[in-house]
Amino acid sequence: MENKPLQQFSLEEITDKYIGEKGSPKRDAFENELRLDLLGEALRQTRMDRKLTQEELGKLVGVQKSQISKLENNIKNARFETVLKVFKALNTRITFKLESEETSS
């Protein structure tokens, strides 16, 4: 029996095939969700770096501990205003980078 070498695929190829090509609604939703997960993780890491519990941070912001947990784990359902308040309470500046992709005519 002959062993064939394994075929390799890039992450981009796999994402195109199973999620959708760049610019498609399904792909855009997928990529936006990933970015929001990164924001939630950044919030958690910053809180931990400041040696604050979720409860302590919630008191600083004026929300319950459960709201901080939701922000860290499922930020896509959060109000933007609340996210900004949390980062302000953590004495952390948050910046967003917007990029416009040029389309060929």
Which residues, other chains included, contact 22 with Cβ-Cβ below 8 Å and sequence gap of 6+?
Answer: 16
Q: What is the CATH number of the domain that holds 79?
A: 1.10.260.40
Q: Which domain holds residue 84?
A: 11-89
- In-domain check, residue 96: no
Q: What is the pLDDT of residue 88?
A: 87
How many domains are there within the chain? 1
65-86, pLDDT tens digit by residue?
998 998 888 766 677 778 788 8
- In-domain check, residue 101: no
20-32, pLDDT tens digit by residue?
888 898 888 777 7
- In-domain check, residue 74: yes
For residue 24, what is the DSSP state? S
CA-to-CA distance for 62 and 82, rounded, in angstroms? 10
Most confident of 3-12, 57-66, 86-95: 57-66
- In-domain check, residue 1: no
CA-to-CA distance for 46 and 91, rounded, in angstroms? 9
7-61, pLDDT tens digit by residue?
888 878 888 888 888 889 888 877 776 566 777 888 899 999 999 999 999 999 9
Q: What is the pLDDT of residue 30?
A: 75
